Amino acid sequence: MNSISFYEKRAELRRVLQSKHFAKAKKKSRFLEFVCEQSFLGDDEKLNEYLIGVEVYGRATDFNPQDDAIVRVQAHEIRHALREYYQDEGKDSPLRIDLPPGHYVPVFTKVETLEAPATVTCQEEERRSPEPLAKKALSPGLLVLLVVACSILSVLYLRERARARGLARDQAAATTLPESMEWFWRPFLPPASPPLVVIPNHPLLRAAHEGDTAATLAHSHLVPKEKVPEFRDTIHFRELKGFYFVPSTTDFTAVGETLGLLNLFELFRSVGQRLRVKPSRLVDFEEIKRGNAVLLGGNQSWSGRVFLYPEGFWFQRGIIHNMHPRPGEPPAYKPEFDPVTNGLTRDYALVLMLPNESTRERILLIYGIYTQGSQAAIQYVTAPEHLQELRKELLATSPHRQPATPKYFQALLATTVENYVPGKISLVAVRVIPEAQ
C-alpha cells in the first residue's frame, strides 16, 4: 500500500473536524484531534485512557479509568461519528481515519481506486507497433547528432559530479560551529531542516500582567477565572489575581518565538543537525527532564519548576525580578513604553542555561517579557559576536576567575523595540549558577 504523507493525514483530519459530524461536538473533536496530534508526533505509546481523560476531559491527576468510563464512551461515539462521516460527506475522501475498538491510536488508510483498463482497437495497436529495426537504419547525420549529444551529456555529468564533490566538501567543512558559539551550543544535538514559514498575526485577547501600563489596563476586560477553566494549565492562571484581557495583534502572539525558531533551524542545519519541535500543550515536565530541551516563552504551567537558581533573576507576572541586586542594579526590570502612543519601546528577556536530570544534558530557557524580547534573545544566542561577549562576561564574573567557561548561568538581555520589531540587543547582567546548586 502506498505510504501516506504527514500533510495528507493532517488534511484529512481537518476535513473530518470541519464536517457536520464533528464541528459542533467540541469534546469529540478535541479527543480526535488530540490522539491524531500525538500520533503525528510519534507518541503513539503514550495514548491511553488516563492521558486522554486528563488532557481532553480535564480529569484530576487521580483519575481512574476503571471508575470513570468517559474515555471509552466518547471513543465509541467517535467511531460511530466517523462511520457516518464516511458514509455521507466523506464518501469520496481519498483517506479514511479509524479508531480501532479497544485502542486509541488512530489508523489512516488510503482508499485504493481502480481505473478501468483502456480499450485499444486492433488498428490503434498496429499504429503503435514499432517498425522492424531493419527498416530504421540510422542516417549519417543522425549518428553525428547522437555523438554530439553524448559528448554534451558527458560534460554535464562530469560538471555535476564536480559540483556535488564541492558541496560535500563544504558540508564536511561546516560540521562544527566557530569557537565563539561552540561553547554555548556544545551540549545540544537536536535535529532540523529550514522550512518556509509564514506566520499570521491573529487578533486576540491576552491576559494583562504587571508589566503592562495603566493605559493598557484601562482598556482591559475582566473575566472571572471560573469562567475560563480552559486556562487552568497556564502559568497565568496561578500567578494572576484576575484575568483582565486586553486586545493585541503584536505582543503575545508568539510570532517572535517563531521567527527566532528560524534562527535555530539555520544554526543546527549548518552543522547537519535537526530540531524536534512540539507545542507546549503536548509536553509535560517529565518529558522535559529526559533530554536536551530548548524552551521558548514562559507560558507553560510547569515553567516555574525549571528556575533552579532563585538567587538570580526570576520572571513572574510580566516582570523580571532581581532577587539580589548588585551595586547599580535595580530590584526589577519592567518593559518601557512610549508615553504618547503606548507602544513598546524596550523589552527584556532571560536566557538560562541549566542542567537537566543528567548533567550531560541541558535545559535552555529563552523568555522575553513580550514576544519581541524572545525574538531578540534567540537572535542573541545564535550570533557569534554576541556569544563571544556573553562568554567574556561570564568568565569575568565566575568565582575565582576560573579559566573554564561556567556551565550553568543566567543572562539578562534588553532590546529596543520600534513598531513592535526588536532592534539593538544588549547584555544587561549575568549570574553564574554554581554547579553544586
Please spell the DSSP secondary structure of 266-326, one letter per residue: HHHHTTT-------GGG--HHHHHTS-EEEESS-BTTGGGG---TTSEEEETTEEEESSPP
Rg (CA), the chain: 29
Q: Which residue has the higher pLDDT, 46 or 52?
A: 52
Q: Which residue has the higher pLDDT, 190 or 400?
A: 400
Distance between CA atoms of 81 and 360, rounded to whole angstroms? 48
81 is written with which cell numbers? 461519528
Q: What pLDDT, on the 0 to 100 scale, is given for residue 2?
A: 55
Q: Which residue has the higher pLDDT, 90 or 188?
A: 90
Q: What 3-state DSSP class applies to 121?
A: coil
Distance between CA atoms of 105 and 95, rounded to whole angstroms? 16
Burial class (CB in 10 A: 0-12, 13-18, 19+), 342: middle
Distance between CA atoms of 276 and 190, rounded to whole angstroms? 6
Is the model's pLDDT at 25 over the cut of 80?
yes
pLDDT band at 165 (very low <50, low <70, confident <90, very high): low
Interval 277-305 mean pLDDT: 72
Q: For residues 298 and 365, is the Cβ–Cβ distance under 8 A?
A: yes
pLDDT band at 373 (very low <50, low <70, confident <90, very high): very high
Interval 57-79 mean pLDDT: 88
Is the model's pLDDT at 299 over the cut of 60?
no
What whole-number percentage of the chain has pLDDT above 70?
75
pLDDT band at 328 (very low <50, low <70, confident <90, very high): very high
Neighbours of 80 (CB within 10 A): 12
Q: For residues 32 and 107, is the Cβ–Cβ distance under 8 A?
A: no
Q: What pLDDT, on the 0 to 100 scale, is given for residue 380?
A: 94
Q: What pLDDT, on the 0 to 100 scale, is given for residue 260?
A: 86
